[in-house]
Amino acid sequence: MALLDLVKSPRDLKNFTPQQLGQLADEVRALLIEKVSATGGHLGPNLGVVELTIALHRTFDSPKDAIVFDTSHQSYVHKMLTGRADQFDTLRQKGGLSGYTDRGESEHDWTESSHASAAISIVDGLSKAFALKGEGHRNAVAVVGDGALTGGMCWEALNNLATTKSRNAVVVVNDNGRSYSPTIGGLSENLSYIRAQHGYDELMEHGKKRLKQLGWVGERAFDALHAMKEGIKSTVMPEEMFPELGMKYIGPINGHDIDALNHAFSYARDYEGPIIVHCVTEKGHGFAPAVNEPNDQMHSTGAIDPVSGVALKESQPGWTAAFSEELLAAGARRDDIVAITAAMAGPTGLQPFADKYPERFFDVGIAEQHAVASAAGLALAGLHPVVALYSTFLNRAFDQLVMDVGLLGMPVTLVLDRAGVTGSDGASHNGVWDMAISSIVPGIRVAAPRDGSRLRELFQQAIEVDDGPTVVRFPKGNLLEDQQAVDTLADGVDILHYSDNTDEASPDVLIVSIGAMSQRSLDAAALLEAEGVNVTIVDPRWVVPVPQSVIGLAGDHDLVVTIEDGVMRGGIGSLVSEALSAAEVDTPHRRLAFPNMYPKHASRGELLQEVGLDPAGIAESIVGWVSDLTEDPDSE
């Protein structure tokens, strides 16, 4: 019987011998490769924390002790050790395991946000609460990557955490030198210095051998080794990683040595006060295709061959690639174009620009707030910054967008990848909030391309704007087939469809289709026309502010319906309603958008269908509204 089959809760690990723990690590790693290669997911990060997670759960008492995984994409091993190993066939599937920690799945999961750099703050709050409740014996543990430590929120938390010495708060730094790609900045350089300090590793190995000769084992040996480390560091390794914070620091620990990890975590568990445990791991450890992959080391992958690591499905032309090509073209034409990423040059399509124009490319680490404020500075000096982010991460930079870019009227172009419903990435990775958030910034212009050709056109238009911020947003995945307009109005609004029906008795419906909802709108129109409804479909392209021609067309129809994959509250439909009211257009208006909820993990199509944003759902809603208007012409 496999050892992993015996693990129903973390407490079962306490009965395993050191040799069995090594075998368990091998089984966990094999299961990760087998299951994630079939479903897709975050393979590299989880392969790197197998031993670390086993040691955490062997040492601490979850869920009494709170273990909080920052970002939590590296929580697959944690899920296996907390009774969910047999559910990995459902990973990231509708109704199955989430790709992140999920409070609805297990009492061992304390959070479910997939945004980085928040775990230390949460642990600060947990440890305060434990102390206030007289539960000082409970530990709160943050597992945070060196990449996440480039986010300023970590340092705000560390600054605060260090002020109270009596709390049991443990910060485990999972240092693999990477986030999505190699970690950058002064922090990364300092960590590398600590790892590679001349003479340190050799001295420690000599010390281990000497202690073994003396017969010192267990806690006694660990205390001696720790004292030795402190002595070495005081002479050859200055502690520059956490200057003047006043927090206990131990490490670096080999993050693939379960015995060393057990000793380190036992020391941290019993230490009275906040403590940092620095563990050095290898992303993708144990799977050569991940370790040898030079870019993201299989940070996130689709279905792959479990032996070679080769993708099982050829990638199709995607939205990100189309944007990347246009950015390169813009960079060749204009030397004032600069590009900024928050640790995601590859995923957001900026890497080709970085390779060709390295002096005009800036990776600021996982720090979206800094990225947007820095962009304001670049714009103040006469450049045109292009800030490429995942849509969901714009949430973090909202203040900077409003106050540092918008208020100053700076020409900064934000390119938002994975906008709208992203599907299997989970609740906090969906980009359904960006239009509601960005649309309230005075003077902003927001574009939502429906296909690759419109993406190219709208991006080039965006970077020509010199009196305020612009946003270009597009969804995750493959490009949609180009939808050619049957007419284009003077203000750039595209007419995608007119009904051929000339029966004046038929109700006329104006569908305002936002971005990538165009094909669904066209398919819904065919269903509506079969029900005797005349349909006009327009794509505003620039959705903020609302184009005047949309207001004009609204007056010529019996019903206006906006269709978007953003949130209902505060979305483009809300703006259209306000514009119709201000223009005293009394045509009834209805909105189809994502409800006020956090979308769970499922495919994009499944989620849109669930909330009535598939063609059949759209047609059904509109038929119902038309019927209501026919029965009560004065209905609004």
Q: Which helix (H) or strand (E) holds 250?
A: strand 248-254
Cβ atoms 127, 49 nearer than 8 A: no
Question: Would you say 557 is a known binding-site residue?
Answer: no
Q: Which helix (H) or strand (E) holds 47?
A: helix 43-47
Cβ atoms 510, 554 nearer than 8 A: yes
Task: Tell me, yes or no, if 368 is annotated catalytic.
Answer: yes
Please name the amino acid found at residue 239. Answer: E
The four Cα atoms 623, 624, 627, 633 give a dihedral, to 10 degrees, of -110
Measured distance CA(30)–CA(178) in Å, rounded: 23
Question: Would you say 205 is a known binding-site residue?
Answer: no
Question: Would you say 554 is a known binding-site residue?
Answer: no
Question: Would you say 363 is a known binding-site residue?
Answer: no
The four Cα atoms 573, 574, 575, 579 give a dihedral, to 10 degrees, of 100
Active-site residue, selected from the candidate residues 178, 283, 445, 604 = 283
Measured distance CA(546)–CA(493) in Å, rounded: 10
Measured distance CA(322)–CA(185) in Å, rounded: 29
Cβ atoms 467, 600 nearer than 8 A: no
Cβ atoms 517, 564 nearer than 8 A: yes
Q: Which helix (H) or strand (E) holds 487?
A: strand 487-488
Q: Using alpha carbons only, how large is the chain's radius of gyration in Å? A: 27
Question: Would you say 157 is a known binding-site residue?
Answer: no
Measured distance CA(520)–CA(563) in Å, rounded: 9
Cβ atoms 543, 447 nearer than 8 A: yes
Active-site residue, selected from the candidate residues 105, 326, 368, 564 = 368
Cβ atoms 283, 178 nearer than 8 A: yes
Going by C-alpha positions, the residue among 206, 210, 62 that lies closest to residue 138 is 62
Measured distance CA(79)–CA(87) in Å, rounded: 9
Question: Would you say 287 is a known binding-site residue?
Answer: yes
The burial class, CB within 10 Å (0-12 / 13-18 / 19+), for 379 is buried
Going by C-alpha positions, the residue among 74, 39, 78 that lies closest to residue 58 is 78
Distances (CA, A) of 42 to 48, 99, 268, 390, 544: 11, 8, 28, 17, 35
Strand, coil or helix: 141: strand
Question: Would you say 105 is a known binding-site residue?
Answer: no
Please name the amino acid found at residue 231. Answer: G
Measured distance CA(305)–CA(40) in Å, rounded: 11
Q: Which helix (H) or strand (E) holds 497?
A: strand 494-498
Task: Tell me, yes or no, if 283 is annotated catalytic.
Answer: yes
Active-site residue, selected from the candidate residues 84, 178, 396, 604 = 396
Question: Would you say 198 is a known binding-site residue?
Answer: no
Which residue shows structure tokens 């568990």? Answer: 269
Beta-carbon contacts of residue 57 (< 8 Å; ≥ 6 apart): 10, 13, 67, 78, 81, 82
Cβ atoms 194, 252 nearer than 8 A: yes
Task: Tell me, yes or no, if 529 is annotated catalytic.
Answer: no
What amino acid positions are annotated as catalytic residues?
283, 368, 396
List the binding residues for Mg(2+).
146, 176
List the binding residues.
73, 114-116, 146-148, 176, 287, 368
List the binding residues for thiamine diphosphate.
73, 114-116, 147-148, 176, 287, 368
